[in-house]
Amino acid sequence: MAFKIASSPHINTRSLTSGVMFRVVLCLIPGIGAQTYFFGFGTLVQLALAISVALTAEALVMVLRKRPVMSTLSDNSALVTASLLAIAIPPLAPWWMIVIGVLFAIVIVKHLYGGLGHNVFNPAMAAYVLLLVSFPVQMTSWVAPQSLAINPADLNSSLQVIFSHSATMTSEYFQLGYDAVAMATPLDTIKTDLSMGLTATESLHKAIFSGSVGVGWFWVNICYLLGGLCLLKMKVIRWQISTAIIVSILICSGFGFLISPDTHVSPLVHIFSGGTMLAAFFIATDPVSAATSPRGRLIFGAMIGVLIYVIRTFGGYPDAVAFAVLLANMCAPFIDHYIRPRTYGHRSGNAL
């Protein structure tokens, strides 16, 4: 019997990479459905754009590299990258932003390093950070939940804004109906209110929170949690990274809330706001850019959770998922080097 040597991801010897990636996309569907329900059809438009650009870019790169095109496209890795980036950006972001982001993710972050299995950073999160740093206004302009908006974003209006983007039209048509700032996410609202001298309790009484967790965002995170549990059930991902992220955020935010409830929100808000569940189950668990050993995955996930809390609380960005994941990606080789299983037969004193 011959041994086949291949690059990561090494997930399940009985599963092809294409099957694994396709299951990831399937498990994203509940969260995508929730985003579409609460924030309009812009999410689906961004998905269609991202997938089209990703497949085209990957095919062209394969032609330039003189590699087989169809076998590369059929591994579904570009589909996953495009989907993650599309659901991470605001639904009504202009079309050229998703094009720039996907091209950067596929051409630079993925193929410049050698393609699937060789990229150091998570391609979707690297592209997200590029867009956030380059276009901060557009990347923080989320529409209000449909139930609170004056004019809900239907398919026709979403297409108009995405392909003939007008900041004035966006703010006038899709702002909150009462007593709130237009297009501010729950985490952004809290950070802004705290900087203006309001307490966390006063901020949570705004319409976007409905007294507890952000309207729409709670159910979006619940749906990504359900999708993530399906991934665990199918053994597509391991439990260590996801668990470590959630537990570390709960511990950090719990201490902060106990020490100063006026300036820190409850752990529930941190867990069910922003991209927490998406990061815990679909982004940080990328088998290529994450740590690989069981203990290493726990450390890797805990690092991401702590960084998410620290940047959210003390940094300049309301949600810190992308930055936390990329910083942890940089540390993954170091973690794998020092946190690795003991070689069978070695004494504990000789093991690293």
Which tops the pLDDT comparison, 343 or 116?
Answer: 116
DSSP letters for 69-103 = HHHHHTT-HHHHHHHHHHHHS-TT--HHHHHHHHH
pLDDT, residue 201, reads: 77
* Same domain flag for 174 and 198: no
pLDDT, residue 277, reads: 93
* Same domain flag for 297 and 310: yes
Domain count, the chain: 2
Query: Which of 141, 163, 183 lies at the terminal end of a domain, its last residue?
Result: 183
What does the block give as tokens for 239? Answer: 């439990």
Q: Percent of the chain scored above 90 by pLDDT?
A: 37
What does the block give as tokens for 187? Answer: 């985490």
pLDDT tens string 255-277:
988 988 888 888 888 898 888 99
Average pLDDT, integer, range 35-41? 88
Helix locations, the chain, DSSP H: 17-39, 42-64, 69-73, 77-88, 95-103, 123-134, 136-139, 155-163, 167-173, 186-195, 200-204, 217-233, 239-259, 267-271, 276-278, 294-314, 321-338
pLDDT, residue 179, reads: 37
Residue with tokens 């300049």: 316
* Same domain flag for 151 and 28: yes
Q: Of 38-42, 58-62, 172-176, where does mean pLDDT reach its minimum?
A: 172-176
Quick check: is 316 in a domain? Answer: yes
* Same domain flag for 145 and 258: no
Quick check: is 248 in a domain? Answer: yes
Average pLDDT, integer, range 75-103? 91
* Same domain flag for 245 and 280: yes
Task: Inform me whether the pLDDT recorded for 167 exceeds 50.
Answer: no
Can you give the residue range of the structural domain that contains 55? Answer: 17-183
Task: Inform me whether the pLDDT recorded for 229 exceeds 90.
Answer: yes
Cβ atoms of residues 201 and 261 within 8 Å: yes
Quick check: is 226 in a domain? Answer: yes
Query: Which of 148, 183, 218 lies at the terminal end of a domain, its last residue?
Result: 183
Burial of 266: CB neighbours in 10 Å, binned 0-12, 13-18, 19+: middle
Cβ atoms of residues 162 and 42 within 8 Å: yes
pLDDT, residue 117, reads: 75
Average pLDDT, integer, range 187-212? 76
* Same domain flag for 177 and 200: no
* Same domain flag for 220 and 283: yes
Quick check: is 263 in a domain? Answer: yes
